[in-house]
Chain A
Amino acid sequence: MLQFIIRRLVSSIPVLIGIMVVTFTLARAIPGDPCRSVLGERATDTICDAFIERNGLNKPLPTQFAIYFSNVIRGDFGDSLRFGRPVSDLLIERLPTTLELGAVALSFAVIVGVPLGIISAYRHKSIFDVGTMLGANIGVSMPVFWLGLMLAYLFGVLLRDTPLALPPGGRLTPGASPEPFYLVWGLVAEGEQAGNLLLFLSRLNVLNAILTLNSELFVDAIRHLILPAVAVGTIPMAIIARMTRSSLLEVLSQDYVRTARAKGLAEFAVVVRHAMSNSLLPVVTVIGLNFGLLVGGAVLTETIFGLTGVGRTLVDSITSRDYTIVQGFTVLLAIAFVIINMVVDILYGYLDPRIRIS
């Protein structure tokens, strides 16, 4: 197993280096002068020269890459050209929004998708099965941003005066300023990194609400998360339901399931203990692969629901040519994608010994 993990780790290194090269090249290839697009009217030649000098943009490209590479390795993503603040600070500020959205969306996808798939497979060709698969087909065909807008209209306008009403935007009700848990607990961080970690955690509203036992904040945060999370999670949910169904169907027709039935096991034990543990293997992979969809969904959904997360910041930065943010965020997302796939592979290897050996 250890050998398998090491092999998998080593094989991701070239991909990670490739990601840095591609991001660096893409960010440099964006047309337009970063100085003028950042400073706008204030950009005179003298100011721009100083700006270029300060940000090292006049050095040869290979040198710029070498500096960038060594900085990224040390976790330093440079200062945002537009905000004049370290990219890592912006990340601490904005990643929690996206992380919370992604986590709730993925939970929704798994909690709804897996049972739907199981029931469809078990009741193969029933009305429930046909209906679920039709629904799943429609689910994967909907544009995320359209679903988001329609949900906002339905729950924010049409159902406004009913108990089902949900807020169509933002992370919390305007004016709400939750107290960070570390203040409530009287925690004082030692060192900058510990402080950043506390800040980061406190920005996860749901977690902060649980840690401070603030039920009002908890309900408010969850209510704001439902619509964007459903919008982001619908496509992964449909994919997971389909995958669960087809893989369970395949397993249910195998000899060992027939044997289990023949020896008189209860139906529940056959399906849950024998069939499901094997059929959920491919589902693990699908959940990992959905990370890309979640990121794409987050970019669009954050734009619609007015959430200042990583996705929206990234798109804004691309249009305003903020190289450092584009590089930093893209590299981080791509690295996260590689790591998640690696974890999924390792998990898969752990669950299925056949993969480990080959």
Chain B
Amino acid sequence: MASANVSKLELTNKEHETSRGSSSLWVEAFKNLFRNPSAIIGMGVIGFLILVALTAPIVATHDPETPLFGAPGETGRLPGKPPCVPALGCDDTLHYLGLDLNARDQFSRILFGARQSLFVGSVTIAVAIFAGTLLGITAGYAGGWVDNAIMRVMDVLLAFPSLLLAISIVTILGPGLMNALLGITITFIPQYARLSRASVLSLKEQEFVTAERALGAGPLRIVIDHILPNSITPIIVQGTLGIGTAVLDAAALSFLGLGAQPPQAEWGLMLSEARNRVFTEPHLVFFPGIAIMITVLGFNLLGDGMRDALDPRLNRN
């Protein structure tokens, strides 16, 4: 009897330790994240972009969608004269990055473009993670024909080159930023479904899940309390890296005329509008592209850093 009590006490102590251990695992992960140079740079870049997106109406010198015909700097469009761009050494005007082909202030358009890119990137991935995880967990937990049906559909979606699939979907839905967002989301769903299904399969048979089931917990409870928290790390990492790809895909769709529509200030669309003038006014192509690159780079760096910081396998090394 006494020994039974002792072992019970030991058990509670152990339980206590494990629960404390799991919370400190997260604290440890965050500490690691803030020690990781690429994560810090990534967070810095993303923080800056969020700031730009939020303060765009205050910082922007002009309305991003209003043409400023006759403004100083538009003279640069006259034949034989180079365009006047203060950032490139011309101090003629108030338009830091010059005017675009419709005489709109490019600096303001780029600031406002940050809103579109961050919005598309984060919403796409959030929806894709939600839908993909739901499908993956259902497939993994239910097994049998449900698993087969869901995963074969995912296989087929993965069999298409992603940009091609997104183009096809947007063509059906009609061009526009929202439809582009939906098209890209669909191409992203399979990878989260696969990822979460794999986690469910490996966790489902573990002893702590079996124990919970023996105690009478229903499938929903097990999924929410045990499977989700244990499978979320790879999904978060994949999601952060995915935002970068989503931003690139959205820009590509806009570039092909299927995403954002004029006069929206969207970086891919700005590139598309200026692409035939690249030989005479390269700055109209250069700056929106740099903006896209910095955004994608920010998310990629953060994603890489998170993978290093959150992967317990790497921590122990």
Are A and B co-members of a single complex?
Answer: yes
Contact with A along B248-268 (1 / 0, CB 8 A): 100110011100000000001
B152 touches A153 (CB 8 A): no
Contacts of A338 in B (CB 8 A): 159
Task: List B222-270 residues whose CB lies under 8 Å from chain A.
Answer: 244, 248, 251-252, 255-257, 268
- Kindly state the separation between the CA atoms of A296 and B245 in the bound complex, as whole angstroms: 12
Cα A147 to Cα B278 in complex, Å, equals 12
In angstroms, Cα B194 to Cα A202, docked, is 43
CB of B152 within 8 A of CB of A18, answer: yes
Do A299 and B163 touch (CB < 8 A)? yes
A143 and B292 contacting across the interface, CB-CB below 8 Å: yes
Q: Which residues of B contact A292 (CB under 8 A)?
A: 160-163
- Determine the interface band of chain A, counting residues with CB < 8 A from chain B: 35 or more
| B256 and A140 contacting across the interface, CB-CB below 8 Å | no
Evaluate contact between A300 and B256: CB separation under 8 angstroms: yes
A146 touching B161, Cβ below 8 Å: no
Q: How far is the CA of A314 from the CA of B285 in the complex (A)?
A: 25
Determine if A149 and B159 form an interchain contact, defined as CB atoms under 8 angstroms apart: no
Residues of A within 8 A of B163 (CB): 292, 295-296, 299-300
Contact of A304 with B by CB under 8 A: yes
Rounded to whole angstroms, the CA-CA distance of A157 and B256 in the bound complex is: 24
Interface of chain A residues 122 through 156 with chain B (CB within 8 A): 137-138, 140-147, 149-150, 152-153, 156
Of B157, B162, B286, B289, the most chain A CB neighbours within 10 A belong to: B289
B220 within 8 Å of A by Cβ? no
Are B160 and A334 interface neighbours, CB within 8 A?
Answer: yes
Q: In the bound complex, what is the Cα–Cα distance between A22 and B190 (angstroms)?
A: 15
Rounded to whole angstroms, the CA-CA distance of A145 and B163 in the bound complex is 13
Q: How far is the CA of A145 from the CA of B275 in the complex (A)?
A: 9
Residues of B with C-beta under 8 A to A299: 163-164, 167, 256
Whether B159 pairs with A15 at a CB distance below 8 angstroms is yes
B6 within 8 A of A: no
Interface string of A297-334 (1 = CB under 8 A from B): 00110011000000000110011000000100010011
Are the CB atoms of A315 and B300 closer together than 8 Å? no
By secondary structure, the A interface counts as helix
Is A29 part of the binding interface, using a Cβ–Cβ cutoff of 8 Å? Answer: yes
Question: Is the CB of B58 closer than 8 A to any CB of chain A?
Answer: no
- Could you say which of B152, B256, B282 contacts A303, with CB atoms under 8 Å apart? B256
C-alpha spacing A145/B293, complex, angstroms: 12
Contacts of A1-52 to chain B: CB distance below 8 A: 14-15, 18-19, 21-22, 26, 29-31
CB-defined interface of A141-179 with B at 8 Å, one 1/0 digit per residue? 111111101101100110000000000100000000000
Interface contact tally, CB-CB below 8 A: 135
B292 touching A337, Cβ below 8 Å:
no
A168 to B280, CA, bound (A): 14
| Contact residues in B for A140 (Cβ distance below 8 Å) | 244, 296, 300
Q: Does any Cβ of B come within 8 Å of A77's Cβ?
A: no
Give the distance to chain A from B253, nearest Cβ to Cβ, in Å: 10
Does A181 reach chain B (CB closer than 8 Å)?
no
Contact at A300–B252, with CB atoms within 8 Å?
yes
On whether the beta carbons of A304 and B275 are closer than 8 Å, the reply is yes
A314 touches B164 (CB 8 A): yes
- CB nearest neighbor in A for B256: A315
Query: CB-CB < 8 A to A31: which residues of B?
Result: 172, 174
Main secondary structure, interface of B, reads: helix
Q: Does A68 contact B (CB under 8 A)?
A: no
A319 to B257, CA, bound (A): 10
B246 to chain A, nearest CB (A): 13
**B59 interfacial contact with A, CB 8 Å:** no
Q: Is the CB of A141 within 8 A of B164?
A: no
Chain A residues positioned under 8 Å from B278 (CB to CB)? 149-150, 152-153
Chain A residue contacts of B275, Cβ below 8 A: 145, 149, 304
Fill in one digit per residue for B33-48: 1 if any A CB lies within 8 Å of its CB, else 0. Answer: 0000010000000000
> In the complex, what residues of B have CB within 8 A of residue A303's CB?
256
Known: A15-B159, A152-B278, A334-B159. A146 touches B289 (CB 8 A): yes
Identify A15's interface contact among B155, B162, B252, B289, CB under 8 A.
B155
- CB neighbours (8 Å) of B296 from chain A are 140-143
**Pairwise interchain contact B289-A143, C-beta atoms closer than 8 A:** yes
Q: How far is the CA of A205 from the CA of B232 in the complex (A)?
A: 50
Candidates B159, B171, B248, B285; contact of A150 at CB < 8 Å:
B285
**0/1 interface trace, chain B 273-317, chain A, CB 8 Å (1 if under):** 001001100100110110011101100110010000000000000
Q: With CB as the reference atom, state the residue of chain B lying closest to A235.
A: B248
Which residues of the partner chain A approach B279 to less than 8 Å between Cβ atoms? 152-153, 156-157, 168
The smallest C-beta distance from A173 to any residue of chain B, in angstroms, reads 18
| Inter-subunit contact A143/B282 (CB<8 Å) | no
In the bound assembly, the distance between CA atoms of A18 and B160 in angstroms comes to 11
B164 touches A296 (CB 8 A): yes
Q: Which residue of A26, A296, A304 is within 8 Å of B162 (Cβ)?
A: A296
Centre residue among B169, B279, B288 by max chain A CB count within 10 A: B279
Mask of A326-348 contacts with B, CB within 8 angstroms, 1/0: 10001001100110000000000
Cβ of B271 under 8 Å from chain A: yes
9 nearest A-B pairs in the assembled complex, by CB-CB distance = A146-B289, A296-B163, A18-B156, A141-B296, A292-B161, A295-B161, A141-B297, A29-B172, A318-B171
- A sample of 12 more A-B contacts (CB under 8 A), given A26-B172, A291-B161, is A15-B155, A18-B159, A26-B168, A137-B301, A138-B293, A141-B248, A143-B268, A145-B275, A149-B285, A153-B285, A168-B279, A300-B256
29 A–B contacts, CB within 8 A, in A order = A14-B155, A15-B152, A19-B160, A21-B156, A22-B160, A26-B168, A26-B172, A30-B171, A137-B297, A137-B300, A137-B301, A140-B300, A143-B289, A145-B255, A146-B271, A149-B275, A150-B289, A153-B285, A156-B279, A168-B279, A295-B161, A295-B163, A295-B164, A296-B161, A300-B256, A315-B167, A330-B164, A333-B161, A334-B161
